[in-house]
Amino acid sequence: MVDFKKTVADEVLLRDALEAADIVPLAIALVHLTGQPEILDTLQPHVHGPWDYSESIPAELKREVRERLAAALKEYAAADRPEPPAPPPEVLRKMMRLAAGQPIPDEYAPMMLEQMALDGPAHGVSGWQKKPAATAPNQFKVAIIGSGMSGLCAAIKLKEASIPFVIFEKNDTVGGTWHENPYPGCGVDTPNHFYSYSFEPNHDWSHYFSKREELWAYFERCADKYGIRPSIRFNTEVTAAHYDASRECWRITARSKEGREEAIQAHAVISAVGQLNRPSIPKIPGLESFYGPVFHTAQWDTEQDIKGRRVAMIGTGASGMQVAPTIAADVERLLIFQRSPHWVVPNPNYHRSVSDAKRWVLKNIPFYAQWYRFQLFWGFADGLYPALQIDPDWPMSDVSLNAINERYRQNMIRHIKREIGDDPELLQKVIPTYPPYGKRILIDNHWYRTLKRDNVNLITADIDHVEAGAIVTRDGQSHAADLVVLATGFQAGRMLWPMDIRGRDGHSLRDLWGDDDPRAYMGITVPGFPNFFILYGPNTNLGHGGSAIFHAECQVKYTIQCLRALFENGWASLECRQDVHDSYNQRVDEAHRRMVWSHPGMNTWYRNKNGRVITNSPWRLVDYWKMTGHLNLDDYLVRQHDRASQPAAGTFDR
Ligand code: NAP
């Protein structure tokens, strides 16, 4: 709730801030406040896309919006009025159209309103803030594994729904990936104003793409604000969870840092361990004989001073992209070993800080922040989806998928040429030969400029072996180094590894999934594993837009609906039907066969060794939002409580 009196207290500040703010979210805020929508029609012809209007909207129109908004704010402050309610649907539709610069299909409108928290008390299709009609049965407890972004989201929403839970966290604090990855330059490459929970916006991001410390601090703050910390068992790693059908509960084994094992019972388990937290250490002959430090980016040895040393970095994915430009100026030499190049896009905001005025506006002008989030969300949502679809008739199918994908490819090549066009040898090494988006797309963190530095070498010959003081490539070259950084990614396919998760019949997830073939219904539930829910599970990674937080919110909402169904119907358990699971996965595979990640031109951690896409979602955001927004009980086998058995009590109170 904005304090209008504070907003208008300093007229000069207010006018300066309005001047610094973006005109379209300001105009929409004006309509919210005044209830007069005419300005939307006046502006619409000048707006051609999100953010595509700075030149085209006439100066006098911009002035009018700012002046009328300042007057409306003052009027609100003088009358001591509360914020107005959300406008009627037809006005909201026009607002969305103006913000996006194009009509928003009706199917997107409810999702966008939820993202902006403008969808009223029902809060979206699933009403995830609703408490269950029946309270959780006596002693019912949910065990959440992990207190990263997804685990915290689950905890916050379970708490709101009055469902008892405990979180087991292997680390000594919250934050997951943002806590664990200490490498130099670590940060987000999803715009921060929507890489944040929809229910907990942060108007104080210092940058449009913040660095790890700030992201980690955000999650720490959320844990405190929502009172989650007392429900977390830190330094406690879940090693196993076995379903005990006779007692209708999960028997969990947790190990403390000191190695002490503990047995716990819970009635439902939410795994929130992520996909990218078990480093992949390459099997390079002789690596163990290297005389200096060797560490993975996620296990960066902060005790090591890299200044003035010769650093060899293996890997050029998202982590390498952030490390190399950050350390290049400090090291004596940086040797970058590239197995295959990535496609890279520039983003003008990537290094920009958010001005004080902009932050003030986000905090103090009602509705501005929501509409700014809308613009980001729309701009980074399903817009890319068509570019990732394989056109079977496309003639250049080795390097692109369709006309839009080819246009992106040309734009990226143009960017690379602008950066290093004067160095044909380097150029030839860095332009990928597979279609854009085949591997995780990267944002240019001054990568190409870094490659041009005198003290940086990009080595593309394959690594043969490592010796005490050097990396030797197949072309016979020996590359002397003092320290090796492994920017070699994660064992994404071994989801939930190394936990031993066993379902109703004693079969383990590992038996079902093998080493790298995880499958679940909507990435969340698995047949034979009652009351077991996975966040950021199989086929839920986003490769075409959106933010991981959006997906986590969808999965948490779905999980809460499942738990609510248990309580409201007095059931002991619910588990996904095998046929529903199988046909869902068939649809996933079919959709992927038509998408970029099935292209044979590149290797990618999105696929397993059999070529099946296992990590990424093939769905548009709006489709996944709709799928997870409504629990269809026909998809599940439900079990009544067994009157003969004595249900176990949850046992994790200290
Ligand atoms: P990654 O994308 O899997 O990249 C690993 C790199 O190591 C690739 O260049 C790979 O080459 C190379 N590599 C692996 N094994 C090798 C070997 N034996 N010899 C030579 N090179 C080898 O890993 P990542 O960079 O850690 O990123 C993983 C994911 O984490 C990202 O895709 C993203 O989802 C997330 N992440 C996000 C951010 C961010 O938001 N900014 C930052 C870091 C990570 P190939 O390409 O040839 O396989």
Q: Which is higher by pLDDT, 424 or 128?
A: 424
Any idea what the Cα angle at residue 537 is, between residues 593 and 313, rounded to 5°? 85
Instruction: Specify the ligand 1 atom closest to the Cα of 283.
Output: 18
* Whether 264 and 316 share a structural domain: no
Residue 208 lies in a domain: yes
Beta bridge partners of 167: 144, 232
* Whether 16 and 158 share a structural domain: no
Evaluate if residue 122 carries a pLDDT over 80.
Answer: no
Residue 652 lies in a domain: no
Strands 142-145 and 268-271: parallel
Instruction: Tell how far the Cα of 474 is from the centroid of ligand 1, in angstroms.
Output: 21
Ligand 1, atom 31, lies closest to the CA of 318
Which pLDDT score, from 0 to 100, does residue 121 have?
47
What are the structure tokens assigned to 378, written together? Answer: 């729309």
* Whether 183 and 253 share a structural domain: yes
User: pLDDT category, 649, cuts 50, 70, 90?
Assistant: low
What radius of gyration, in Å, describes the C-alpha atoms of the chain?
26
Please name the helix (run of DSSP H) or strand (run of DSSP E) that holds residue 318, with its range, or none: helix 318-327
Which pLDDT score, from 0 to 100, does residue 53 have?
78
Residues in CB range of 10: below 8 A, 6 or more apart: none
* Whether 99 and 220 share a structural domain: no
Instruction: Tell how far the Cα of 188 is from the centroid of ligand 1, in angstroms.
Output: 15
CB 238 within 8 A of CB 145: yes
pLDDT digits (tens, 9 = 90+) for 482-511: 999 999 999 999 999 999 999 999 999 999
Which pLDDT score, from 0 to 100, does residue 134 have?
73
DSSP state of 44: G
* Range of lowest pLDDT (411-425, 485-499, 640-654): 640-654
* Whether 378 and 344 share a structural domain: no
CA–CA distance, 169 with 263 (Å, rounded to integer): 15
| CA distances to 253, 400, 423, 524, 605 from 585, in Å | 30, 26, 46, 12, 19
Which pLDDT score, from 0 to 100, does residue 124 have?
39
CB 631 within 8 A of CB 565: yes
Instruction: Tell how far the Cα of 272 is from the centroid of ligand 1, in angstroms.
Output: 21
CB 151 within 8 A of CB 129: no
* Whether 471 and 539 share a structural domain: no
Which pLDDT score, from 0 to 100, does residue 126 have?
42
Which pLDDT score, from 0 to 100, does residue 544 have?
85
- Other C-beta atoms closer than 10 Å to the C-beta of 45 total 9
CA–CA distance, 186 with 207 (Å, rounded to integer): 13
Residue 180 lies in a domain: yes
End of a domain among 470, 486, 502? 486
pLDDT digits (tens, 9 = 90+) for 552-566: 999 999 999 999 999
Evaluate if residue 54 carries a pLDDT over 90.
Answer: no
User: pLDDT category, 137, cuts 50, 70, 90?
Assistant: confident
pLDDT digits (tens, 9 = 90+) for 264-280: 999 999 999 999 989 99
3-state secondary structure of 372: helix
pLDDT digits (tens, 9 = 90+) for 213-265: 999 999 999 999 999 999 999 999 999 999 999 999 999 999 999 999 999 99
End of a domain among 462, 486, 510? 486
pTM of the full structure: 0.95
Residue 129 lies in a domain: no
Residue 281 lies in a domain: no
Please name the helix (run of DSSP H) or strand (run of DSSP E) that holds residue 94, with its range, or none: helix 89-100
Residue 497 lies in a domain: yes
Q: In a mutational test of the pocket of ligand 1, which residue from 181, 212, 300, 319 has the highest number of ligand atoms less than 8 Å from its CB? A: 319
Percent of the chain with pLDDT over 90: 83
- Other C-beta atoms closer than 10 Å to the C-beta of 97 total 15
Instruction: Tell how far the Cα of 98 is from the centroid of ligand 1, in angstroms.
Output: 38
Q: Cα torsion at 458, 461, 466, 472 (round to 10°)?
A: -100
Which pLDDT score, from 0 to 100, does residue 123 have?
40
* Whether 466 and 530 share a structural domain: no
Q: How many domains does the chain have?
A: 3
CA–CA distance, 646 with 642 (Å, rounded to integer): 8
* Whether 472 and 401 share a structural domain: yes
Please name the helix (run of DSSP H) or strand (run of DSSP E) that holds residue 41, with its range, or none: helix 38-43
Which pLDDT score, from 0 to 100, does residue 125 have?
35
Who lines ligand 1 at CB under 6 A? 187-189, 276, 282, 284, 297, 314-320, 322, 337, 339-340, 440, 463, 487-490, 603, 605
* Whether 237 and 170 share a structural domain: yes
Q: In a mutational test of the pocket of ligand 1, which residue from 440, 444, 459, 617 has the highest number of ligand atoms less than 8 Å from its CB? A: 440
* Whether 173 and 266 share a structural domain: yes
Which pLDDT score, from 0 to 100, does residue 567 have?
92
* Whether 140 and 265 share a structural domain: yes
CATH of the domain at 546: 3.50.50.60
Parent domain of 20? 4-123+357-382
Residue 372 lies in a domain: yes
Please name the helix (run of DSSP H) or strand (run of DSSP E) that holds residue 359, with its range, or none: helix 356-364
Residue 150 lies in a domain: yes
- Other C-beta atoms closer than 10 Å to the C-beta of 454 total 6
* Whether 101 and 179 share a structural domain: no
Mean pLDDT over the full length of the chain: 93
| CA distances to 9, 170, 227, 241, 247 from 652, in Å | 51, 16, 18, 14, 16
- Taking the alpha carbons at both ends of the chain, their separation in whole angstroms is 38
Q: Cα torsion at 57, 60, 66, 68 (round to 10°)?
A: -120
